[in-house]
A and B are shown apart, each in its own frame.
Chain A
């Protein structure tokens, strides 16, 4: 019988698929349902249509967190990838033991849990005692409370972010660099191309697909930034975002609405709005890629 022949296959995928259906597919559907309801997990849910979505879009916190997210992404994604590309090219120019040593050093921050990146840097930024302020002190400059200054907070986050994630992208770009045939460089050298011209005309174009992955993945994870700003600002579910909401980001705002204000319907709607934004950005990336491929 047909089914019987295939039964072993279904049995083997069953545990994974069951868990997947229960803890992944079902939550997406139930979240979609909650997003149209006013619900605090105690009283019965009340259907409110699109009111949750409207409330979020009209709220000041949403505008603030989207503004912060925009600023953050525009700087951190290109900067992080430029640094990672620089590191990859650097490591690629060393051989043997030194390539290994430098690669190992640059990758070290990636190994640490991201909550630790935030908690270590919180102290580097700390007034008086912190490493940065100690260094400012060497030059006779006054102590700055970096994480309490609405102008500098977002740059503090970006620095931590680049520090913590550059090594990850470096590894992926390095793997891409190793796949570029050396003949291309040899030919270019024979034509008298300088090191810089080789990078621009061979390395970058040949890295295209890898760069695309790194940029897209970087955008998707940057849009969901949570641990680092949460811990840098010492946030809790009732007070988050830091001084003047300078480090308020969408996922933080969503978590606050869910677990601080106990409005789960609103939080679920927030999740869908954010997902919509992520899907749009990802789709845009793919459109840009096919457009540049065709050119």
Chain B
């Protein structure tokens, strides 16, 4: 592109402006997270006039707060609950979603279009209308304050099905036919032919599901009301509640600990996450 070539050779007003805005926007996007880290890793109680928390100043103070939180609160337990909740949800969404998507995308059977259409309609139904009746059903099943109560109602992910069907539609029918002629059973075709081809889509869906489950605040708030079912989101909410009377360093440490898993995932899988979101948006 000529504009880009021109800007590479001679800095124009446009180039300067472009860089200024880009850097400023990056600072605004990143700084709150950076500030959280600084508050955690600074001597507690120092007034902002002495330490404005613009960079981390004390590694030991931060680690000390982390230690105190893990030792004196149920944070570690909530971590376990959140990890279980996420892992089980990912496993279920991938397994049930891929099995159903396999059929909807690659085969024809009576009722296929209607059934798939109904599930796709679900993408448009807001959570607001289902959350209270789903809670009441979960309560009726006696699943309040249980792992199955957290996990099972979220397993039939219409979004996950949609994404996998989109992906599986690209698999050539010849491939399925060839496997069939080689004597592969229906289940073998699913497991040994189609799933390996969908590895990318499955990984992307797993990451998106993780982000969503880890960040889910509303459902655990309703279902996990006893302290031994608290998720990280609820613990963070409690640290932040007006009644907690915790110092800012402690609250920010609680926040940071909740941010660590998604941040690590982001650093490792940035491309997959971005592609997954771009795909869900442009194909939707």
The answer to whether A19 and B156 touch across the interface, beta carbons within 8 angstroms, is yes
Chain A's nearest CB lies how many Å from the CB of B126? 5
Within 8 A of A (CB), among B235-271: 236-237, 239-242, 248, 251-252, 255, 258-259, 262-263, 265-266, 270
How many residues on the A side are at the interface (Cβ–Cβ under 8 A)?
101
Distance in Å: Cβ of B194 to nearest Cβ of chain A: 11
Count of chain A to chain B residue pairs whose CB atoms are closer than 8 Å in the complex: 266
CA distance A24 to B96 in the complex (A): 15
Contact B237 A113 (CB under 8 A): no
Q: Which of A105, A122, A123, A279 contacts B39 (CB 8 A)?
A: A123
Interface of A is mostly: helix
Contacts of B97 in A (CB 8 A): 16
Also in contact, A134 and B48, with CB within 8 A (given A28-B129, A116-B258): yes
A contacts, CB < 8 Å to B: 2, 6, 8-10, 12-13, 15-17, 19-20, 22-28, 30-31, 34, 41, 86-87, 90-91, 93-95, 98, 101-116, 119-124, 126, 128-129, 131, 134, 137, 163, 167-168, 171-172, 174-176, 179, 182, 185, 189, 195, 210, 213-214, 217, 220, 223-224, 226-227, 230-231, 234, 236, 250-251, 254-255, 258-259, 264, 267-268, 271-272, 274-275, 278-279, 282
Top 10 nearest A-B pairs (CB, nearest first) are: A113-B215, A172-B281, A27-B133, A31-B133, A175-B278, A16-B100, A20-B156, A19-B156, A105-B26, A271-B129
Let me know if A23 and B266 touch, CB within 8 A: no
- Flag if B126 contacts A111 (CB, 8 Å): no
Q: Which residues of A contact B104 (CB under 8 A)?
A: 13
CA distance A264 to B134 in the complex (A): 12
Chain B stretch 93-134: residues in CB contact (< 8 A) with chain A? 95-97, 99-100, 102-104, 107, 109-110, 112, 115, 118-119, 122, 124-134
Q: Is the CB of A278 within 8 A of B126?
A: yes
Given A224-B128, A251-B128, A264-B132, A87:B25 Cβ within 8 A: yes
Q: Are B29 and A163 in contact (CB under 8 A)?
A: yes
Contact B137 A90 (CB under 8 A): no
Whether the pair B107, A226 counts as a contact (CB closer than 8 A) is no
| CB contact list, B169-197 vs A, under 8 A | 186-187, 190
